[in-house]
Amino acid sequence: MVEQTAENIGIEAKVAKINVDNNGPLGRRFGIRGIPALLIFKNGKVVDKVRPGDNLEKRLLAYR
């Protein structure tokens, strides 16, 4: 869904999937408290956390 939305609005997006059950320290590092969780990074830093029901297109466009 992320890749398709990014393509539709003409931006580049890379998607990485992390299993926080197998990678607990990484989940804690980014404050993951619920699944699914979607973090938007720009220049190597988290700039937003998207929750189910949020307008993904609008959120991605904000960091163009």
Q: What is the pLDDT of residues 19-61, one digit of tens each?
A: 888 999 999 999 998 888 899 999 999 999 988 888 989 998 8
User: Could you tell me the two tokens for 30?
Assistant: 């980014």
* Cα separation, 29 vs 13, whole angstroms: 22
DSSP code of residue 30 = T
pLDDT score of 16: 86
Confidence of residue 64 (pLDDT cuts 50, 70, 90): confident
